[in-house]
Amino acid sequence: MEDLSAFFPDADTFFPRNLPVGLTFDDISLATRYTEILPRDANLSVSLSPSLHLQIPILSSDMDTVTESRMAIRMALNGGLGLIHYNMTDEAQIKEVARVKNHIHGFIREPIKVMANQTIGEVLDRITRKDFGFRTFPVVDEQNRLLGLLSSSTVKERYRERSVLEAMTPRSEVYTLPVSAIKDHPIEVADKFFSEHIGIHKLLIVDDQERLCGLFTLSDIERIEDEATRIVKPARDERFRLVCGAAIGSHRKADGSLDADRIINHVGRLVEEGVDAIAVSTAHGFSKGVGDTVKLIRGQFQDLTIVAGNVTSADGVEFLAKAGANCIKIGQGPGSICTTRVVAGVGIPQMTALYVASRQAAKEGVTILADGGITKSGDMVKALTLADGLICGGLLAGCDEAPGRIMEINGKLYKQYRGMGSREAMKDGSAARYGHDKKDAVAKAAPEGIEALKEAAGPLDVVLRELIGGIQSGMGYLGAADLKTLKVNARYIRVSPAGQKEAAPHDVITVKTTPNNSSE
């Protein structure tokens, strides 16, 4: 009798069998397998390096209309990782990373402060102007020395003409701890303090000269305790800070040589802020400049997680792994706003590229990330049968937390989204990513990306919840309790154009859809 299992082969049979055709997500479908698990029980955690562990295998892309600190914070709170883009000054990027690393629930390292000589009216105007969601402020002098605490109960219109000095609780009545007391275990110390002091909701931290160093809030400490009951927990480092990554370029001097001093100094400062991963991001990672940059960073920072890319071949993976990368980005040209394949005529369809890269990565002992072309959770499931994680740009660009500018067109809200190879993005600093100089971005460089709009998608939490649910559904169909088993259980079949049409909603008038199941 014919072996019917041959109809649905594993990856090592399926992809070589389809040579020389390159396949992408819609070209294939996965065969269901026997299962004993419920989708909600599927474990999505992954380790991208010995020191970087995530609760979900999703990273937000290092694009200037996708990831800055606000996106990175929400990504980490949902168990993933945000890669801060580098289309900004080095100093600005360091501050973005610091905002994420210092966003420990309960501890605010740089609280908003007021001065004693201000009026309550000035404080109220600032709250309105900045849209603050709180009304309690530490009061400091010109040297940042703590003078007292302005409580929300006194920040009212009826006291508009009164001074902060009159309204504040004086220093002698404000609860504080020295910064040395929270050095090793800040959350545990604060939790113990609030348990011992009934009715106190704020704890200020000062140094030995009474200068304000930070602020704990009871509400955020209690949120941390609630994390223990969550199915998907935030991604945190060993010091309980949110994880965060940052992208850098292979910066060069005027003579074309690698600017080693700038790279090492910048990465060093990012490491001081606690960055968990550095991504050396270029369109062509299989290049001397990227290899030299990875070697340079690895030589100075032995334990730092280094992500490098992008490549689409086994040779490219081997090259970056031997240079010192822990995790390698796979994808050239599959992104919705990327035109590399049109402009330069290069690139491999994503599933074929992931297969080749995954086999070499296993030999090298490194992990890989599927970067680009993912438009729905079904694509994520397919990618994760070969990759260790996913980088998402377009799927997240419409979220509230993305930094893109909001526009209203015919009553609908959209957010700006552009490829890092678009002319405007290269003018703003990403030209080096595509092997060009910033000053030549307008006159000489051929853009490899476009500027576009994404329909506003709402909060990241909601979008990720739907995507994670889709991944877990796929794992349930394949009988995979975790991502490692998903790779083992995956069986593939190639889909005809008619099969692709059959897979999507058809022969109906669509009334309502979501970004995850839209045919657009």
Which residues belong to the annotated binding site for K(+)? 333, 335, 338
Which residues face 223 on adjacent strands? none
Burial (CB count <10 Å: 0-12, 13-18, 19+), residue 255 = exposed
Active-site choice (70, 99, 241, 433): 433
Q: At 402, is the secondary structure helix, strand, or coil? A: coil
* CB neighbours of residue 436 within 10 Å: 18
Which DSSP string corresponds to 191-227?
A: HHHHHHSTT--EEEEE-TT-BEEEEEEHHHHHHHHHG
Rounded distance between C-alpha atoms, residue 460 and residue 463, angstroms: 5
Binding residues: 331-333, 335, 338
Nearest to 429 by CA among 247, 157, 288: 247
Q: Choosing from 213, 244, 327, 338, which is the catalytic residue? A: 338
Three-state DSSP at 476 gives helix
Beta pairing, strands 212-217 & 327-330: unpaired
Place of tokens 């992500």: 307
Does residue 433 carry a catalytic annotation? Answer: yes
**Which residues are within 8 A (CB) of 484 and not within 5 positions of it... i.e. 6 or more apart?**
none
Helix, coil or strand: residue 378 = helix
Residue 327 annotated as catalytic: no
Q: Angle CA(77)–CA(298)–CA(238) in degrees, nearest 5?
A: 30
Q: End-to-end CA distance of the chain, in Å?
A: 44
| Residues annotated as catalytic (active site), given as ranges | 338, 433
